[in-house]
Chains A and B, each alone.
Chain A
Amino acid sequence: MQEKVIRTQGIYPEFPRKGPSPAPSATHYCPGCGHGVIHKLIAEALADANLQDRTIVISPVGCAVFAYYYFDAGNIQVAHGRAPAVATGVSRATDQIVLAYQGDGDLASIGLNETLQAANRGEKICVFFVNNTVYGMTGGQMAPTTLVGEKTVTCPDGRDPLTQGYPLHMCELISSLKAPVFVERVSVSDIAHIRKARAAIRKAIDIQREGKGYCFIEVLSPCPTNLGKASATDNVKWINEQMEKEFPLGNFRDLTATAETIVRPASDFSKDTLDRLFHLDELAETAQDNDASFRPVQVKIAGFGGQGVLSLGTMLSQAAQLAGKQTSWYPSYGPEQRGGTSNCSVHISTQPIGSPVVYNPDLLVAMNRPSLEKFKHDVRPGGVIMYDAIMGEVDIPEGVKGVAVPAQQLADEAGNERGANTIMFGVMLALGITGLPESAFKDALAAAFAKKPKLIPINVAVLDHAARWVRENVR
């Protein structure tokens, strides 16, 4: 009579990744462990659906750390608890089938955040959660799913809810979220239970094949080594009677009928697309000005948040760039900004710019009194301070020229009440401090309002009004 050998499909025939072994087709799992059964159910489902070429299995940390010895598919081994995050990266990059296989410590303790967040995003992955109420690999410590009263190495008198809390119910947690498509708790305690587990696993794999979204299968499973039961039958009894009481079996979510295939777009790497994305065809060609006789200009602009201090700085920097100069803009950022005052430094030069910070400005634009007081003594001898005339009487340091600009009044006159900083921009132009041509100022203004072109004429009017004011009022 010919011997009939039934080979498990989807599992390697032998396990060379284990290293040299007298039993090359024996797993590393303890006799009676549930992992072997669960591996087999998943692997056969993959093989039957002809998905092994398309599938990537994530091995966790825990007893299943070596799941990659067995699954005949792409394999990735990852850090403790991070499988759902890694699975997210794999899934987004490849759009293939990704299975995360995790134990209770890995998934529900150190990896609880990743578990819930990946589920909540509805990642196109399937998470297999093997719940045996105990840390296996590290030697039987209390797990987040350890039952009340259950003894482990780290709760030797039994889990006490007063000090150790209660078991975490993962299916219940996951099914409280909107995105998951399929959530079911099964058991592999005995043949009848394994049949139901098989059906649930196949369904989850099928959902992955169709790309419909997130699946979570919790499997109650025996740990014969660490649960301390006398026999295999005791294990079965304990799972069926004790564990099931705490973790009721059944389906918690099944949206298979309504869930639609999630389609991820293909990545576009072409240069043309990128150039279009950044509107490179609209960028003006600027001839680099290397004139060594150009005197570098350093400007500090300061004021309250909301006065357009930072945008005035970027407009100036933009004007410099359009005029072919080297330039840098550097803001004060963070709490100072939120605390009410902000400032920025602008360099304009024809030579490479060193430090982007302006310590001793040629021009200080002070939009409020605190800014004026803070920076006025830093201004270089022979430099200029432009300040808002609304401040009234101010002390300008000797050797520095002060220009009081009625910025708000001029902006109102020009018909743009929000144009006080553009007035300052126009005064800068008219005073000629920056050494930049008028065209650069107007081009910069146009660039600043490129997204709201309707506002360009009114702002040009503001700029012209400021220049006129300088001609008539400043000597």
Chain B
Amino acid sequence: MATTLVKGNKAVVIGALYAGADCFFGYPITPASEILAEASNLFPKVGRKFVQAESEEASINMCYGAASTGHRVFTASSGPGISLMQEAISYMAGAELPAVVVDVMRAGPGLGNIGPEQGDYNQVVKGGGHGNYKPIVLAPNSVQEMGDFTRRAFDLADKWRTPVYVLADGVLGQMIEPFTFPEQAVEPKADTAWAVNGTADTRQNLVTSIFLNFDQLEDFNNRLQHKYERIAAEEQDCETLNCDDADTILVAYGISSRIAKTAMDQARAQGRKVGLFRPITLNPFPKDALAQLAQQPRSFVCVEMSNGQMADDVRLAIGCSRPVSLVSRLGGNLITLAQVLQGIDQAANR
């Protein structure tokens, strides 16, 4: 196993290269820019295609083009850039195109700042653009997972013909940890059943998201919803630590789950029955496992750097059957251990 220290943003590019990503199109934005820079350096060295686009609209539409050809393609950005990409991501969902979008979240709204935050949850997990669609969303919490989940995102995108996000944050993008390189490299093949890639066998194919006929568009929408139901049934993923006997369960994803884990360890060392539930897929949200945990009387403490965007999904998943509280920091600040421990205390004293 080849292991070395790697920065989170670079791990994304390594994961993508081993996943057979053929094209990267991107635009600079802190704290995601290293992905663009690493791709500009590494992609051409193996004949893969790189373009620094004129805007996020352009980069995601270049992705739309490459995805239409059945080649594996991805882009990366942060909140303000992701906002600009929403139009084309809606088109991709409508045209059922596979592509990977990496969001290294920063603090908003507006220009905000470049510190870490998790305020893109709603615009990423809920769809974000116009229409009735939901992308698949994976949430890494380590440098290793930045690479591994990027690889996994390509597989899911192809399997379900949908845009897939890797939703990270400024800390995960900027930090360095040991990273073990993939054992396999994917040699992707375009799916000639639907792709349009300038060959005789794909000449009759059409990529589009337009349905003039209301009933046809309704049928298509229903088919999409059916696909999302199957995704929800098959792809929910989470990590649970010490949840069985816990009277308080911390719910956190991304870097917040690492802080929550440290808090859980400290609370356990003090004899407190605290567990950690980490959603790995944010869409589909791992609601089945969470609902199962909510069958016992216990409280849930959401630890997230947003105004409770994920906490809403926790309440939905458990049908508001147990108390759900929120430990949060905004504006680029990280949640502190003391805050989480206090949140655990408050939940217990309710």
Contacts and interface: CB of A to CB of B under 8 A. Distances in A.
Contact of A97 (B171, B181, B196, B198): B198
A75 B61 contact: no
Interface stretch (B201-209, B218-226, B304-312): B201-209
B89 to A, nearest CB: 10
Interface string A331-356: 10111000000000000000011111
Contacts of A121: 51
Contacts of B30: 333-334
Contacts of A269: 20, 46, 185-188
Given A89-B61, A93-B73, A113-B55, A333 B207 contact: no
Contacts, number: 239
B198 A96 contact: yes
Contacts of A58: 65
Contacts of B17: 274, 277
Interface stretch (B131-139, B155-163, B255-263, B282-290): B255-263
A117 B62 contact: no
B18 A354 contact: no
Nearest to B65: A89
Main secondary structure of the interface of B (DSSP, over half): mixed
A354 B49 contact: no
Contact of A283 (B4, B23, B57, B63): B4
B196 A53 contact: no
18 contacts: A53-B203, A56-B196, A72-B203, A73-B203, A77-B206, A79-B91, A82-B58, A88-B65, A89-B61, A89-B63, A90-B65, A90-B196, A93-B73, A317-B176, A321-B178, A330-B171, A356-B175, A356-B177
B87 interface: yes
Main secondary structure of the interface of A (DSSP, over half): mixed
A68 interface: yes
A271 B18 contact: yes
B182 to A, nearest CB: 8
A335 B106 CA distance: 13
A93 B197 contact: yes
A93 B74 CA distance: 12
A246 interface: no
Contacts of B186: 269
Contacts of A82: 57-58, 61, 64, 88
A329 B336 contact: no
A356 B144 CA distance: 14
A210 interface: no
Nearest to A96: B198
Contacts of B263: 354
Interface string A100-121: 0000000000000110010001
Nearest to A272: B185
B3 interface: yes
A449 interface: no
A274 B18 contact: yes
B301 to A, nearest CB: 16
Given A19-B213, A321-B4, A86 B46 contact: no
Contact of B69 (A19, A90, A97, A114): A90
B61 A79 contact: yes
Given A267-B22, A267-B46, A356-B255, 20 more contacts: A56-B197, A72-B203, A76-B65, A78-B61, A82-B61, A85-B59, A89-B62, A90-B66, A90-B196, A94-B198, A121-B51, A275-B2, A278-B2, A278-B181, A286-B3, A317-B176, A329-B176, A331-B175, A353-B177, A353-B258
B203 A74 contact: yes
A270 B187 CA distance: 7
A318 B205 contact: no
B2 A280 contact: yes
Size range of the chain A interface in the assembly: 35 or more
B178 A65 contact: no
B46 A77 contact: no
Interface of A: 17, 19, 52-56, 58-59, 65, 68, 72-79, 82, 85-94, 96-98, 113-114, 117, 121, 264-271, 273-275, 277-278, 280, 283, 286, 314, 317-318, 321, 326-331, 333-335, 352-357, 359
Nearest to B70: A93
Size range of the chain B interface in the assembly: 35 or more
Contact of A329 (B5, B31, B45, B262): B5
Given A68-B206, A89-B65, A74 B114 contact: no
A75 B65 CA distance: 11
B14 interface: yes
Given A89-B73, A267-B47, A359 B337 contact: yes
A76 B87 contact: no
B239 to A, nearest CB: 12
Given A17-B206, A89-B62, A314 B176 contact: yes
B111 interface: no
A113 B210 contact: no
Contact of B23 (A92, A357, A359): A92
A103 to B, nearest CB: 16
Given A19-B213, A117-B54, A274 B259 contact: no
B88 A77 contact: no
B174 A333 contact: yes
A335 B262 CA distance: 28
Nearest to B7: A329
B343 interface: no
A74 B73 contact: no
Nearest to B264: A354
Contacts of B188: 269
B45 A266 contact: no
Contacts of B53: 85, 117
Contacts of A114: 54, 57-58, 61
A89 B91 contact: no
Nearest to A17: B206
B65 A87 contact: yes
Contacts of B44: 265
B54 A74 contact: no
Contacts of B213: 19
Contacts of B198: 53-56, 74, 90, 94, 96-98
